[in-house]
Structure 1
Amino acid sequence: MKNTIVSILLLFAVFSFSSCEKEDPKPDYYYSFKVNGVQKEFRINSEAGITFLEDGPNRFTLFNMVTGKELSKNAVIMSFRNTEQIELGLRYIMQNPIMVNGSLVPSLALIYFDENGKEFGATLLQSENPGALDDSSFKITEFTTEGSVGEFEGVIFDLSDTGPLDQRTQVLITEGKFFLPNFISNL
């Protein structure tokens, strides 16, 4: 009888531990890129993801690539406005403007916070700002129930620089990659 109870408890323990091992692991969400040739790689925190918002004909996509406890360090934020669904594999370019409330604006803005929290960005439409070299782009290469995989890049500038636009120091974001969870909302 004692052996039977011990056997049952051992079987229960084995089934308990084996069922824990069979849980689906959380995907390994990340973002990585180079800043002026220096590689940066991060695992996301719970605040990160891609939010797809639809409000009638207008669509807004927010890429929130953050890590750690300080959201304004080692972070990349991109916002994209368009009127059609995002197509897989199509590169979306900042300098393809969109009309918003009667004004021509960039369809994409990219903001980067370095490890010290210094803010850089590509936010200016070149056709409306002579001398501006701001630029950025992204594409989504895979869209699954777990998240989106994609690429991004940019020519960004210190957002506190108030000097002439054509004399600002460029910072290059290259080889950007991400795998982020998706959040979809209809307003």
Structure 2
Amino acid sequence: MKIAKILLLCLFVIFAFSSCDKEDPRPNYYYKFKVNGVEKEFKANNDANIVFIEDTNSSNRFTIFTFITGSDPNKNAIIISLRTTVSPEFGVNYTMQNPIVVNEQTAPSLTFIYLDENGKEYGATLLQSRNPGAMDDGSLMLTELSAEGSYGTFQAVTFDLNSTGELSQRQSLILTDGEFFMPNVVSLR
């Protein structure tokens, strides 16, 4: 009799837990692009997102795109920073060499950091008008907003962040056909 009661209690507990509402599965967040023509595609991990930040001390808005996969955030990752004076808009092609004033200094409106499969750092961070010889460039467009996140496209001309010497002599690493679907994080102020 005691065994029957324990078995009945176990069945009740199993039934109670199996009937609980389960959380919806996470959408298939991803990012993909070509590196010098070679296709790369990654499933985003739980740390990948888009964060919208409003600087209360100025009229600047910052949007940080963090594309991370796997367990090592220093490999196969892309970080893009978008600076605007208004909230980012969908369907607008933002270009890196369209400068913005940040802390009374002109700066690129976009910056790109790419960490390859070995963790080597590449970036497009220089404003050409302030850095003669620099060929850093890039663009980003938010294309669609859904309840789960944002879709967009990007491309960039990046360089080894540890290289020294003449800017015009640096070897480029070109990111093309970039595409993503990432979760949005609520605006931070």
In structure 1, C-alpha distance between the alignment counterparts of 2:73 and 2:188, rounded to whole Å? 26
User: Displacement, 1:131?
Assistant: 0.5
- Poorly superposed stretches of 4+, deviation over 4 Å: 15-20
Match of 1:136 in 2: 138
Q: Pick the aligned partner of 2:150 from 124, 148, 151.
A: 148
**Which residue is 2:48 aligned to?**
48
Using the size of structure 1 for normalisation, the TM-score is 0.87
List aligned pairs for 1:50-129, cutoff 5 A. 50-56=50-56, 57-129=59-131
Q: SS of 1:149's equivalent? A: strand
State the alpha-carbon separation in 2 of the partners of residues 48 and 23 from structure 1: 19
Counterpart-to-counterpart distance in 2, 1:104 and 1:116: 33
Q: Which moved more, 1:52-61 or 1:148-157?
A: 52-61
Find the residue that maps to 2:46 and give its secondary structure. coil
How far has the Cα of 1:59 moved from its partner? Answer: 0.7
Matched letter for residue 173 of structure 1: L
How far does residue 143 in structure 1 lie from its aligned partner after superposition?
A: 1.1
RMSD: 2.0
Amino acid at match of 1:180: M
Q: For residues 174 and 43 of structure 2, what CA distance do their matches in structure 1 show?
A: 21
Unaligned runs of 5+ residues in structure 2 are 1-10
| 2: CA distance, partners of 1:129 / 1:82 | 21
Ranges in structure 1 where 5+ consecutive residues have no aligned partner: 1-8
Q: CA–CA distance in 1 between the matches of 2:151 and 2:64? A: 14
Q: Deviations over 1:60-116 (max 9, x none)?
A: 100000011110100000011111111111110000000112211101100000000
Q: Is the 8 A contact 2:90 2:144 kept in 1?
A: yes
Question: Which amino acid in 2 is paired with 1:54?
Answer: E
Other structure's SS at 2:134 match: coil
Q: TM-score, normalised by structure 2?
A: 0.86
Paired residue secondary structure (2:87): coil
The alpha-carbon deviation at position 25 of structure 1 amounts to 3.0
Give the structure 1 partner of residue 169 of structure 2: 167
Separation of aligned partners in 2, 1:134 and 1:62 = 19
Q: Which position in structure 2 is the counterpart of 1:34?
A: 34
Distance (whole Å) between structure 2 residues aligned to residue 71 and residue 23 of structure 1:
26
Q: Distance in 2 between matches of 1:100 and 1:87?
A: 20
| Pairwise CA distance, 1:163 | 1.5
| CA apart distance, 1:186 | 3.2
Q: Which residue of 1 aligns with 2:160?
A: 158
